[in-house]
Amino acid sequence: MDPGFTWVDEPAGLEELAARLDRYHRLALDTEADGFHAYRPRLCLLQLGWEEGDGVGVALVDVPALGGRLGPLGRILADPAVEVIAHGADYDVRLLARDAGVDLRGLWDTQAAARLLGLRRTGLAALAEEIAGTSLSKAARKVDWSRRPLPPAALRYAADDVRPLFAIRDELARRLAEAGREGWAREEFRRLEEVRAPGDERAPTPEELVARFRGAGRYDPRRRAILAEILAWREAEARRRGRPAVHVLSPEAIRRIVEDPPASLEDLAARGLPERVLRRYGRDVLAAVRRGHRAPPLPRPRGRAAGRAPEGVHRLVRRLKEVRDRRARELGIEPGVLCPGAAIETVVRGAAASGDLPGEAELVAAGLLPWQAREVLDSFREALAESLPGKGGTT
């Protein structure tokens, strides 16, 4: 037991904590997972804060020790009448739903609120310093949260992350009300409550791995084929070991290999690979390179699977992005917060196919929230009307 928090790793302690929290109408929440140390991150720690007197009480819940069963605590977190304050909560929501069966409700996300206000720095440490006057340590960010016992510095880090959330929430709520953006925030929070981890946890294809690899677009088709084989081998090895793929072979090492493919262990050593990597994986990497040489060249993708969009559609997408960017500047928020680029392409494709100007319902169907749709609707319709055949323009 640390005087700064309560450690909960037994069902009796969980029952006691739930009974204690049952009388509060708002809580602060954070989670920790072993994402830096596992192939498939798991929920390892749940941090909960509550206001008591002039301070904040904190409990750290050892989720693996409880078998992922949060019992009565899960009921509290799923109660929409209890406000749950979190920061950048999409990851927390996914973990709680997948690993603890908790559908979080009553969410109030401080990062989402900060973005809706157009704040330049929206990280938790920045907001804690600016609003709560608190300095948060970054020392334990890469801790293996699955290890037990956790070091004292990690426990302090975990507890400190929830303490400033109440002060940050209250100040951001004041600013949202002042800006008339409370409704925007409510819509964002409800959307975040529905975020879930993908149900399909199959291994990605080599083509998908290449598409995700930074800088792959600059390689010629033969080097892309070599890259695909190396990434496919690395992914399989990472899954087998239960470790992150980056711990098997770093992106920097992969780039050196792909850009100057080795033919021997000596060549591979000359690419600057650590001795332990050479001993463990040298022959596997060389085999992947040889497979890449034998495989058909892998060309760069030439558009979406549904077919490359006509140039007229691309021009319209660029035009709507200009319109979106201008409106975002007027509102003082980032363009992606106002309207994601993927939604713009969906809107344009739909309008080009139907020949009709979209309404609010079509924008919402394209992935926008109602507040976003209302803010861009008129300007999008005006821009589309200038270009769609029969609406005053041509494509």
Q: What domains, with CATH codes, occur in the chain? A: 6-193 (3.30.420.10), 206-294 (1.10.150.80), 311-385 (1.10.150)
- pLDDT at position 391: 59
The two three-digit tokens of residue 146, written as one number: 């699955």
Burial per residue of 309-323, b for 16 or more beta-carbon CB atoms within 10 angstroms, e otherwise: beeebeebbebbbeb
DSSP H stretches of helix in the chain = 11-21, 71-77, 90-100, 110-116, 124-127, 152-160, 165-179, 182-193, 206-212, 221-241, 251-259, 265-270, 275-294, 311-331, 335-338, 341-354, 360-365, 370-385
The two three-digit tokens of residue 104, written as one number: 């979080």
Tens of pLDDT along the chain (395 residues) come to: 445 899 999 999 999 999 999 999 999 999 999 988 888 899 999 999 999 999 999 999 999 999 999 999 999 999 999 999 999 999 999 999 999 999 999 999 999 999 999 999 999 999 999 999 999 987 777 899 999 999 999 999 999 999 999 999 999 999 999 999 999 999 999 999 999 877 656 778 999 999 999 999 999 999 999 999 999 999 999 999 988 999 999 999 999 999 999 999 999 999 888 899 999 999 999 999 999 999 999 998 765 444 455 667 889 999 999 999 999 999 999 999 999 999 999 999 999 888 899 999 999 999 999 999 999 999 999 999 988 766 555 44
43 contacts 94 by C-beta, under 8 angstroms:
no
CA atoms within 13 A on the CB side of 97: 17
391 contacts 356 by C-beta, under 8 angstroms:
no
pLDDT tens for 66-77 read 999 999 999 999
How are strands ordered across the β-sheet holding 26-33? 6-8, 55-62, 43-52, 26-33, 83-86, 107-109
- pLDDT at position 251: 95
- pLDDT at position 304: 47
28 contacts 36 by C-beta, under 8 angstroms:
no
Strand pairing partners for 86?
Answer: 109
Residue corresponding to tokens 């979080």: 104
pLDDT tens for 287-317 read 999 999 999 999 987 654 444 556 678 899 9
- pLDDT at position 2: 46
Q: How far apart are CA 309 and CA 295, in angstroms?
A: 29
- pLDDT at position 1: 40
Q: Report residue 205 CA to chain centroid gap.
A: 21
Q: How far apart are CA 115 and CA 121, in angstroms?
A: 9
Note the pTM of the prediction, 2 decimals: 0.84
Beta strands in the chain (DSSP E): 6-8, 26-33, 43-52, 55-62, 83-86, 107-109
Phi-psi region at 32: left, alpha or beta (left = phi > 0; alpha = psi -120 to 50):
beta
Indicate the DSSP class of residue 139.
Answer: T
Q: Which of 84, 76, 89 is nearest to 27 (CA)?
A: 84
- pLDDT at position 4: 87
- pLDDT at position 307: 46
Contacts of 395 (CB under 8 A, 6+ apart): 310, 312, 313, 315, 316, 352, 387, 388, 389
The two three-digit tokens of residue 192, written as one number: 């975040």
- The SS3 call for residue 161 is coil
- The SS3 call for residue 33 is strand
Q: How far apart are CA 93 and CA 314, in angstroms?
A: 35
Q: Report residue 4 CA to chain centroid gap.
A: 30
Q: How far apart are CA 123 and CA 262, in angstroms?
A: 42
Distances from the Cα of 263 to the Cα of 96, 267, 268, 289, 290, angstroms: 47, 6, 8, 8, 8
Residue corresponding to tokens 């992969």: 254
